[in-house]
Structure 1
Amino acid sequence: MRIAMLAPIAWRTPPRGYGPWELVTSLLTEALVARGVDVTLFATMDSLTTAVLDGVVPAPYSEDPSIDAKVWEFRHLSHLFAQADRFDLIHNQADFPAHAFAPLTETPIVTTIHGFSSERILPMYAPFQDRVHFVAISAADRHPALRYAATIHHGIPLRDFAFDAKGGEDLLFFGRIHPDKGAAEAIAAARASGRRLDLYGLVQDAGYHDREVVPACDGVSVAFHGVVGGEKRVRALGQARALLHLINFDEPFGLSVIEAMACGTPVIANRRGSMSEIIDDGVTGFLVDTPAEAIRAIARAGDIDRIAVRRAVAERFTVDRMADDYLALYRRILGSA
């Protein structure tokens, strides 16, 4: 089985810090190679992989201002699709632009939809659903106008997330600094509960950051740490009483949610999007609908069995399970081709 894995080019694959699509692409690619699958990864040329690395984009456009995103994205796509007949299947992790090439090749295409962001993108999905096999990353993120080949939750390498049996007394926010992700709501809930809050993440909305986060950061009750990776990331995820995920949008999945859970940290999340698929209310965290419920959940977070939280990830959200699900999908598509 020869797979062409198409990565986005916003960040390196895997990302140095932020870059959830590139991270999932890397995790899946490495797991497939470990299973003996012949994978060629089309990504930025500074990417790291055990697969065959191919591409033309010298660096990620989010890191190198000389890389024009639109120009290099289509150069990236053209480079892959010019050799599409070399592969049994193309797995597109880079959103809808690849669909423009779908009518020009007979090679089956799988597109993982990393969040259906807006009705405005539907014209680049609906007309191509007879040629492209769509994968949703949660049942909540399925669009009613589309046919899906599968719903496959993301998975992470459990061994990379050390279990912390005790946790700590402080609260954690881990995500983009953007109104959707609820940093302001996390700050308010932490203040109301009388607990310290540590925020980590990429500043995506500078105005929101300046209005809602900066004035609250005194370094004592609220502290912002920016993007963090490696061992520091794992320690931050594991040493918290709870992760606050008080989102203001329908979350398609939420990698930080399962990463925190892998460390044993329960998650307190607004009941939106995929959260009810990931969090078992009262067992691995709490699903809430109001700020008052969030505050009560913070008080109860110490009652959660952290072993049970990690076990849920081991049973449902590992990279091995994700890779097995995708392999089964590939074989089903190729068997019916």
Structure 2
Amino acid sequence: MRVAMLSSISWRTPPRAYGPWELATSLLTEALVARGVDVTLFATADSLTAGRLEAVVPRGYSEDPTLDAKVQEILHIAHLFERAGEFDLIHNQADFMPLAFSRLVATPMVTTIHGFSSERIVPVYRRYDDRVAYVAISEADRHPDLSYAATIHHGIRIEDFPFDPVGGPDLVFFGRIHPDKGAGEAIRAALASGHKLRMAGIVQDQSYHEREVAPFVDGDRVIHLGVVGGADRARTLGGAKALLHLIGFEEPFGLSVVEALACGTPVIAYPRGSMPELIEDGVTGFLVRDLDEAVAAIGRIGEIDRTACRRAAEERFSVDRMADEYLALYWRILAGSGGASVAGLRPC
């Protein structure tokens, strides 16, 4: 099977630190290559993969302000579609723009929808609903106007997140400094409970940061670590009493949530978006309705068995499970597509 994997190019694939779309794409790509699938990754030129790498964009446009995002994206997308005939299947992980090319080629196309930035982009998805197989990353993120081939939760490399059976005394916030992610809510909950809060993430909304976060960051009760990646990410998540995920939007997934669970760290979250799918209330964390309930849940966090958190991550959110589900979807699409490009294919 020859798969063209189209990554987002905001960041390198895999990202050096922040870059959830690129991270999910990299994890899937490497798992498929390990299964013997012939994957060509279309990503930035500095990307890393065990498969083939194709690139016309030197680096992520979020990492280099001299690059025009729209120019780089159109060059990137066109580079793949000009070679579409070389592949049995195209897997688009780069949002809605590639959909406009889908009727110009015969190659079947899968698109993982990593969330909807706005209702304004939905008409594009709706227009190509009959041409592209859409994958939702949670049941909560399925749009009622679209049809879907599958819901496939993201997976992580469990071995990259060592289990910490004890954790630490402090709470942790892991995400963008943005109203959506609830950084300010996390600070208020931590301070009200008398716990220190360690925060990791990029500042995406400067005015929100200046208003809701910066005044409380004192290097003692509230510490902002900046962007944390690699082994430090696992140590930060695993060394916490709990992850506070008091989000202000319908979150499509939440990689930091399952990464925390893999480390054994329970999660306290508002039950919005995918959170009820990821967290079993009272078993791997608590789903709370407001700030008062969040503070109360912090006081009850000792009721959660950290081993149960790890077990849930292993059973439900491994990269192997994700890769197996995507591979099964690929074969189902290819079996139903007819066409010469499918002839003679055998399961890997």
Return the TM-score normalized by structure 2: 0.96
Instruction: Give a deviation string over 1:170-211, Cα, whole Å, max 9, x none.
Output: 100000000010000000000110000011001100111111
Deviates more, 1:154-163 or 1:109-118: 109-118
Shift of 1:127: 0.8
Matched, 1:230 2:210: no
Shift of 1:96: 0.3
For residues 155 and 187 of structure 1, what CA distance do their matches in structure 2 show?
28
For residues 321 and 273 of structure 1, what CA distance do their matches in structure 2 show?
22
Amino acid at match of 1:332: R
Amino acid at match of 2:2: R
For residues 196 and 165 of structure 1, what CA distance do their matches in structure 2 show?
20
For residues 263 and 325 of structure 1, what CA distance do their matches in structure 2 show?
24
Alignment of 1:23-42 (within 5 A): 23-42=23-42
Q: 1:257 aligns to what SS in structure 2? A: helix
Partner of 1:184: 184
Instruction: Give a deviation string over 1:245-285, Cα, whole Å, max 9, x none.
Output: 00010010000000000000000000100000000000000
Shift of 1:72: 1.0
RMSD across aligned positions (CA): 0.6
Aligned length: 337
Instruction: Give a deviation string over 1:32-70, Cα, whole Å, max 9, x none.
Output: 000000000000000000010012111110111221110
For residues 192 and 5 of structure 1, what CA distance do their matches in structure 2 show?
46
Matched, 1:8 2:14: no
Matched, 1:328 2:320: no
Amino acid at match of 1:258: V
Q: 1:112 aligns to what SS in structure 2? A: strand
Matched, 1:137 2:103: no
Alignment of 1:45-124 (within 5 A): 45-124=45-124
For residues 17 and 229 of structure 2, what CA distance do their matches in structure 1 show?
6
For residues 168 and 79 of structure 2, what CA distance do their matches in structure 1 show?
49
Identity of aligned residues (%): 69
For residues 250 and 258 of structure 2, what CA distance do their matches in structure 1 show?
17
Alignment of 1:158-237 (within 5 A): 158-237=158-237
Amino acid at match of 2:318: T
Moved runs in structure 1, 4+ residues, more than 4 A?
none
Partner of 2:306: 306
Deviates more, 1:146-155 or 1:210-219: 210-219
Amino acid at match of 2:202: L
Instruction: Give a deviation string over 1:3-59, Cα, whole Å, max 9, x none.
Output: 000001100000001000000000000000000000000000000000100121111
For residues 49 and 222 of structure 1, what CA distance do their matches in structure 2 show?
37
Instruction: Give a deviation string over 1:142-162, Cα, whole Å, max 9, x none.
Output: 000000000000000000001
For residues 119 and 72 of structure 2, what CA distance do their matches in structure 1 show?
25
Instruction: Give a deviation string over 1:82-122, Cα, whole Å, max 9, x none.
Output: 01010000000000000110110110010000012321111
Q: 1:125 aligns to what SS in structure 2? A: helix
For residues 231 and 254 of structure 1, what CA distance do their matches in structure 2 show?
19
Deviates more, 1:61-70 or 1:249-258: 61-70
Amino acid at match of 1:34: A
For residues 230 and 26 of structure 1, what CA distance do their matches in structure 2 show?
14
Amino acid at match of 2:82: A
For residues 51 and 143 of structure 2, what CA distance do their matches in structure 1 show?
32
Instruction: Give a deviation string over 1:191-247, Cα, whole Å, max 9, x none.
Output: 110000011001100111111111001111111110011221111000111000000
Amino acid at match of 2:206: A
Q: 2:282 aligns to what SS in structure 1? A: coil
Amino acid at match of 2:309: V
For residues 230 and 119 of structure 1, what CA distance do their matches in structure 2 show?
34
Amino acid at match of 1:75: L
For residues 66 and 183 of structure 1, what CA distance do their matches in structure 2 show?
30
Q: 2:314 aligns to what SS in structure 1? A: helix
Matched, 1:153 2:156: no
